[in-house]
Structure 1
């Protein structure tokens, strides 16, 4: 019994010793996050588009210990000479720029709500502002120094306070230690996604007019009309600009009338093919003008006439007569295509077509003209190809094409032109 009592007493005493006391029962509250109530007022302290690493953040393990003035400071890793920018609009209230080690070189900028942003460890002699200067976010103020980091803090009443950055996506805009962040601290905040609607409207109008003027200069009136119409309806267009737009529309109308008159003159001179080319140009560039519909009707009438003529010459005899016209026009490919088709016809027409074809094939003059036409076409295609390659910045391929042309046609004007063009392309490389 005594042994049992002793054991019970021992167990009870052990339980009493292990039970938590009143002090131990009070759990320590977790530390409040630094940015729980922080507003994002600041931009990262380096130029837009630049990236830097966070060497030490809030409550850092080395020098940003809890309870001291640097508790909420941030060290941005850097290289000597990297640019430092103002993080927010304010007034420069203090500059220290005398320490050879860069440790105590400081710039302080006071903001409208009484907060002061502090930039420390700046490169000696790199300060770009003076005390009393008003700065905006993105203004270059100095360069980073020998300590290979920028010490940045925000003070209120000479006490460090947490800050949030607008261009940091982490919670509350608080940079995380050892992470890398890309700045959006541009002088022109439109680049950071902040849009001034009035400025945007003006820019939009400027772009429209720039495009309209460009296409007017190139005589691409259809596109010019499109941009002019948009600019005319733009809310920011003033009277001066509207007058310029009206003058441009008048010029387009005048050009359309001139083009239509040219087509009519060609028709009067019995040149329907040339008239069609001019009218097709009208269809392409002058859509929407007052004379556009008249030009369309005229083109349709020419097409109807050509269709009737085509029906008339569908007979083999008429087609054979057409050969002489094609020879005079030196359209030899069309001549041989037509003759090859006619030779398949049985009878006199087929025999005659075969005889004409053989005669043309044996004619040295015709063959010479054919070769000349063929070479001209090939030269034209090579030069077109070279222009395409230049636009695509494929200069070596372009030079190769030009050398090929010189090799194929060594003693021609095209070869001389190609040699000159090679020098131009080499300069562009």
Structure 2
């Protein structure tokens, strides 16, 4: 109880002096609350005091229970996973067309001409690929590359051009390594790259929020011809 009292007293002082600060709150697939001073897709803006309350709750839980670092995911800022452009985001997180399920909720679609070089946005090990699907085929993902990152998350590059995947399972890649060419395979309404970051949960693979290190919303829209 004494430790809890100290926590609440300290928090009250900070909250009183910093209530004007705007922070952004998001929740990952496991229900872990993530805070940032930068806006992330799907994040909610709130005052600093809300952040303090969450911190106090987390600190009290930590006093009662051992810490679980595996359950905490830090948002990683990804460079663009393609060469060329500029291209534009055409469907973002929670997009009503196809970004509504657990695996793709935080995915981003970027319209680009078929044959655009696709590169690794983060280093890791290639754990799965598909390279032979033509057109819509039998898999809605089309041709793809799945890369396991060192923190356990996975970056997935979907709808790639048939026969263009240039990496193999077990191969280690670094940022900028060529992976494939963009395409229009699987459940795709036009040439684009579907990029999603996922992590394993008890319910299966789940997409998690991520950011590009450059803005995409204001770029020219290839799909609209401008």
Q: TM tier, shorter chain?
A: 0.5 to 0.7
| Corresponding position of 1:34 | 42
Is the aligned partner of 1:51 residue 2:82? no
Deviations 1:173-209 (A, max 9, x none): xx54xx328xxxxxxxxxxxxxxxxxxxxxxxxxxxx
Shift of 1:167: 2.9
The equivalences for 1:8-407 within 5 A come to 34-35=42-43, 39-47=75-83, 50-65=85-100, 67-101=101-135, 103-146=141-184, 147-157=190-200, 158-168=205-215, 175-176=216-217, 179-180=218-219
Is the 8 Å Cα contact of residues 91 and 135 (structure 1) preserved in structure 2? Answer: yes
The TM-score normalised by the length of structure 2 is: 0.57
- Looking at structure 2, the residues matched to 180 and 149 of structure 1 have their Cα atoms a distance apart, in angstroms, of 15
Cα distance 1:68–1:101, how it changes in 2: closer, same or farther (>3 A)? same
Give the whole-Å Cα distance in 2 for the aligned partners of 1:42 and 1:105: 22
- How many residues are treated as equivalent by the alignment? 142
Give the root-mean-square deviation of aligned CA atoms: 2.4
Shift of residue 143, structure 1, vs aligned partner: 0.4
Identify the structure with the greater strand proportion.
2
Return the offset for 1:122.
Answer: 0.3
Q: Does the Cα contact within 8 Å between 1:38 and 1:164 map onto a contact in 2?
A: no
What secondary structure sits across from 1:159 in the alignment? strand
In structure 2, what is the Cα distance between the partners aligned to 1:150 and 1:31? 24
Deviation at residue 166 of structure 1 after TM alignment: 2.1
Cα 1:61/1:111, change in 2 over 3 Å = same
Deviations 1:402-426 (A, max 9, x none): xxxxxxxxxxxxxxxxxxxxxxxxx
Contact 1:92–1:108 under 8 Å retained in 2 = yes
Asked whether the equivalents of residues 75 and 209 of structure 2 are also in contact (C-alpha less than 8 Å), the reply is no
Question: What is the CA–CA distance in structure 1 between the aligned matches of 2:170 and 2:43, rounded to whole Å?
Answer: 31
Structure 1: gaps (5+ residues)? 1-29, 169-174, 182-429
Equivalent residue number for residue 247 of structure 1 = none
Displacement of 1:44 after TM fit?
1.1
Q: Point out the structure with max Rg over C-alpha.
A: 1
Q: Is the 8 A contact 1:124 1:145 kept in 2?
A: yes
By how many angstroms is 1:52 displaced?
Answer: 1.1
Shift of 1:142: 0.3
Q: In 2 relative to 1, CA 31–44 (structure 1 residues): closer, same or farther, beyond 3 Å?
A: closer
Tell me which protein shows more helix as a share of its residues.
1
| Higher relative contact order (Cα pairs below 8 Å, separated by 6+ residues) | 2
CA offset at residue 40 of structure 1? Answer: 3.3
Mapped partners of 1:150, 1:35: distance in 2: 23
Query: Alpha carbons of 1:31 and 1:132: their partners in 2 closer, same or farther (altered >3 Å)?
Result: closer
The answer to whether the 8 A contact 2:183-2:192 is kept is: yes
CA drift at 1:31:
8.6
Deviation at 1:80, TM superposition (A): 1.0
The aligned residue for residue 30 of structure 2 is none
